[in-house]
């Protein structure tokens, strides 16, 4: 049961009556009249259980986009119903026009639309549909909750897509360039051309030279169909806020851009998201399906308040990769004792693979170091300086161990990682 504003207005004449005839009996009498009207309205109101509801909504959308959820409410009863409804969604779904009012004749249906503009990645599940059927007097009515389940998956925004075109242009330039004049790991035969001064004599093709009567050299280009394994740290450090979003969102953006670029380059891309357990995995997928699979699997990954298990990470790399490959670990440099396990694991992996550590910088550290306004801020600045010195020491140890380190602010991490990939390609290390 519920009451409408008409019930409140019905009580107002009772106040005037009490002022004219001030007695408890007057107040109780008028309250009794209003209560009787409420009971009559509730009794004669159609049952909301006679309503049937269904929902139409898209399965997924990208963060920042909007989608419409349409409810179809059918009156299976024999009387016309005046229906008030509320389509409940969680606050992060960004729902507008959740409430509605409609008159539904017997045997007919009406539609109500709610616009969703989600504020976060992940699955957004619809709550119960609350329906109220108003009685003939409009004073009160009957209420019920109907289950109309729906889940909308909010995919990563992939705002770094705007950087893809320029990186693909550089990739095409690399592929069309006169070839790398070296032999060995990371290159494959491309074509023959005339010898020029400065070419490596080891690249001379003697058989072709004998046939043509002029010195010809073999040209080489970076190998295609290489393996790229991207590992996203979804542990404690990924929960840190960088601007308006957690660090994990910047890590996912970098993953999507690198995966799109590497797949266009002809490389095979595998992606893992893990902390103390594997939270998402995309393997054996290529072509146009890869990006949709990545967006779908990474949409539901959330930061966990646990540390990344570096031993498990190394084990997963050995399980997934059987030959030399590019291993990209997207995590954060902490500067604490926890980095010892990171250094040990990554430098060990660097003996068998090309290893890159990508980290989104925390701009707050630089801001704290620069603050000198009072005594407290000086102590805070000293602490920030100590953290930065420790981070620099970790970087040096990683680089000495053969690990490439890529650091950039949250929005700049994706293009910086893509540039690192292209540099490795150009150097013949992939």
- Which tens digit of pLDDT belongs to each residue from 115-151? 999 999 999 999 999 999 998 888 888 999 999 999 9
Quick one: tokens of 155?
């995919």
- Is 179 domain-assigned? no
**Domain housing 320:** 159-164+224-426
Handedness of CA 274, 277, 282, 284 (dihedral sign): positive
- Is 180 domain-assigned? no
3-state secondary structure of 93: helix
User: Pick from 93, 48, 36, 98: which is nearest to 73 by CA?
Assistant: 48
Is the CB of residue 350 less than 8 Å from the CB of residue 429? no
- Is 182 domain-assigned? no
Same domain, 110 and 11: no
pLDDT at 12: 73
Same domain, 246 and 371: yes
Is the CB of residue 54 less than 8 Å from the CB of residue 79? no
Q: For 303-346, what is each residue's pLDDT tens digit?
A: 999 999 999 999 999 999 989 999 999 999 876 556 788 999 99
Q: Tell me the C-alpha distance between 156 and 154, whole Å.
A: 7
pLDDT at 186: 43
Is the CB of residue 330 less than 8 Å from the CB of residue 342? no
- Is 210 domain-assigned? yes
The residue ranges of the chain whose pLDDT is under 70 are 175-190, 220-225, 335-338, 365-372, 375, 377-380, 384
Number of domains in the chain: 4
- Is 368 domain-assigned? yes
CATH number at residue 293: 3.40.50.410
Same domain, 302 and 364: yes
Quick one: tokens of 26?
């007057």
Residue matched to tokens 């670029």: 261
Same domain, 388 and 294: yes
Helix or strand run (H / E) with residue 104: strand 99-104
pLDDT at 344: 93
Helix or strand run (H / E) with residue 291: helix 288-298
Same domain, 200 and 296: no
Quick one: tokens of 320?
């997934």
Same domain, 209 and 228: no
Residue that finishes a domain, picked among 172, 204, 221 = 221
- Is 148 domain-assigned? yes
Q: For 19-54, what is each residue's pLDDT tens digit?
A: 777 778 877 887 788 788 888 888 888 999 999 999
């Amino acid at each position: 049961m519920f009451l409408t504003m008409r019930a409140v207005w019905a009580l107002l004449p009772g106040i005037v009556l009490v002022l004219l005839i001030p007695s408890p009996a007057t107040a109780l009498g008028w309250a009794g009249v209003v209560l009787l009207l409420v009971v009559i309205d509730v009794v004669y109101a159609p049952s909301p259980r006679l309503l049937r509801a269904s929902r139409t909504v898209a399965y997924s959308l990208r963060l920042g986009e909007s989608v419409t959820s349409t409810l179809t409410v059918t009156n299976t009863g024999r009387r016309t119903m005046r229906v008030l409804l509320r389509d409940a969604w969680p606050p992060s779904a960004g729902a507008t026009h959740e409430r509605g009012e409609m008159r539904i004749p017997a045997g007919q249906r009406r539609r109500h639309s709610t616009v969703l503009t989600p504020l976060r990645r992940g699955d957004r599940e619809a709550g119960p549909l609350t329906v109220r059927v108003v009685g003939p007097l409009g004073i009160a009515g009957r209420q019920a909750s109907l289950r109309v389940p729906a889940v909308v998956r909010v995919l990563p925004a992939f705002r770094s897509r705007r950087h893809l075109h320029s990186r693909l242009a550089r990739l095409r330039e690399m592929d069309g360039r006169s070839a790398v004049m070296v032999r060995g790991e990371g290159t494959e035969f491309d074509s023959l051309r005339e010898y020029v001064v400065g070419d490596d004599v080891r690249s001379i093709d003697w058989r072709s030279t004998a046939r043509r009567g002029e010195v010809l050299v073999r040209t080489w280009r970076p190998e295609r169909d290489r393996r790229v394994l991207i590992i996203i740290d979804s542990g404690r450090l990924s929960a840190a806020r960088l601007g308006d979003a957690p660090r994990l969102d910047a890590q996912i953006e970098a993953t999507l851009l690198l995966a799109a670029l590497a797949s266009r380059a002809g490389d095979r891309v595998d992606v893992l998201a893990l902390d103390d357990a594997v939270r998402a995995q995309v393997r054996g997928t290529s072509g146009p399906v890869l990006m949709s699979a990545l967006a779908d699997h990474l949409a539901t990954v959330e930061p966990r308040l646990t540390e990344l298990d570096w031993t498990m990470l190394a084990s997963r790399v050995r399980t997934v990769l059987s030959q030399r490959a590019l291993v990209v670990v997207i995590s954060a440099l902490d500067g604490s004792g926890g980095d010892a396990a990171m250094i040990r694991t990554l430098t060990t992996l660097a003996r068998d693979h090309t290893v890159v550590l990508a980290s989104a910088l925390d701009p707050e550290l630089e801001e704290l170091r620069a603050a000198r306004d009072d005594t407290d801020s000086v102590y805070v600045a000293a602490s920030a300086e100590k953290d930065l010195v420790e981070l620099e020491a970790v970087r040096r140890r990683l680089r000495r161990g053969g690990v490439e380190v890529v650091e950039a602010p949250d929005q700049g991490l994706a293009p910086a990682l893509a540039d690192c990939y292209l540099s490795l390609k150009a150097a013949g290390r992939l």
